[in-house]
Structure 1
């Protein structure tokens, strides 16, 4: 509920700061998910498992990013929350939701621009698919962004954008590929 004072009192009396609910969410994850920055900061004083991931694979930072709680996400980053890891990562969630300022914050904090999700999608692919043109522009501005990466369906970011009627985004990616002198990616087809 965001009552940081009551939470601090409970923590001082010995409540385990890594307590989990029935769904496997720690107090830190709950605070981050709900954008309760004061409660989150109270928990961080007790050496909580900052990078703990719930059974769905979400960390406190991931849920703060997903829900658009920038202050909570910045507090977690300042406390050393892990940015790059296996599975879905915070930059995937920022790209998925089109959170431009959080994309910038995560990139500045060292997020891997080409980190692969379980479906092999990169943040660029996810932003392109979902129609977040400003996030796509920001990711294209990073020279290391892989324009020819393919997801598990064999689609590059521009093709995935086209499949979702995001023609303006597909054109941006194709123009950047041309500017960099890159060939279009080879089509990958799996025959079973």
Structure 2
């Protein structure tokens, strides 16, 4: 028989502690672990459906209450953006038609679905996004920068019709016409110039679209811009 001051038996204490911990497991699962696991599983299923253009699977997940604005973990891209990248256009249409969809959701680098559609030259997607209220003008990089960079002239025209700021400046003061000149898209340069782009603007390095075209090896663009600006008395 133990005295009042004796220490509790360690084996007995360990046994009781194990029983207590096991009893707590269901509460932990129900109180926190299970929802997080379910959430991760739902996200995986959601992006699997998006990547494989699985409309049936996506509709089932949405019917279960899965958020249509989930972001994938690596780059923080929305389902709309991933659908555009993967050319999952049936899924894209379903997501775009979802009541709570956020068409202006940004990835970690600031990309939006409209910007990706513009870069990929996906004019029907760009039109659909604009119809749902996609933001054309915003601080920093814009959809017009992306359309100019890829030489997507149809989308350039579409964005300009929707009041895109033609001389929008990126964080380093790059304009859409500079992007078109850098990438060698002579028709896009002409389109922007005809629409009123200012080819005399300079970026943070003090370079104009002409300078950028020259440095990028696009002599035809540099010469064309120089001719136009001299003719207009701007050089």
TM-score (norm 1): 0.88
Runs of 5+ consecutive residues of structure 2 not aligned to the other structure = 1-51
Matches within 5 A, 1:133-152: 133-143=186-196, 145-152=197-204
Q: Which has the higher contact order (CA 8 A, sep 6+)?
A: 1
In the alignment, is residue 15 of structure 1 matched against residue 74 of structure 2? Answer: no
Contact (CA 8 Å) 1:20, 1:27: kept in 2 or not?
yes
Q: Post-superposition shift, 1:121?
A: 0.8
Quote how far apart the aligned CAs of 1:34 are: 2.3
The count of residues paired between Structure 1 and Structure 2 equals 182
Question: What stretches of structure 1 of length at least 5 have no aligned partner?
Answer: 185-192
The residue that corresponds to 1:157 in the other structure is 209
Please tell me whether residue 32 in structure 1 is matched to residue 84 in structure 2: yes
Please tell me whether Structure 1 or Structure 2 has the larger radius of gyration of its CA atoms: 2
Tell me, in whole angstroms, the C-alpha distance in 1 between the residues paired with 2:117 and 2:56.
Answer: 21
State whether residues 35 and 72 of structure 1, in contact with CA within 8 Å, keep that contact through their aligned partners in structure 2: no
Greater fraction helix = 2
Q: CA RMSD in A?
A: 1.5
Residues 1:94 and 2:109 are matched in the alignment: no
For normalisation by structure 2, the TM-score amounts to 0.73
Matches within 5 A, 1:60-79: 60-79=113-132
Instruction: Spell out, residue by residue over 1:141-178, the C-alpha distance to the aligned partner (whole angstroms, 9 max, x if none).
Output: 113x1121001110010111111121111122122212
Deviates most, 37-46 or 48-57 = 37-46
2: CA distance, partners of 1:83 / 1:33: 19
Q: Offset of 1:14 from its aligned partner?
A: 0.9
Q: Is the alpha carbon distance of 1:75 and 1:36 closer, same or farther for their aligned partners in structure 2, counting shifts above 3 Å?
A: farther
Q: Structure 1 residues 25 and 58, CA, compared in 2 at 3 Å: closer, same or farther? A: same
- How far off is 1:6 after superposition? 2.5
**Equivalent residue number for residue 3 of structure 2:** none
Q: Tell me how far apart the structure 1 counterparts of residues 99 and 62 of structure 2 sit (CA, whole Å).
A: 8
SS of the equivalent of 1:64 reads: helix
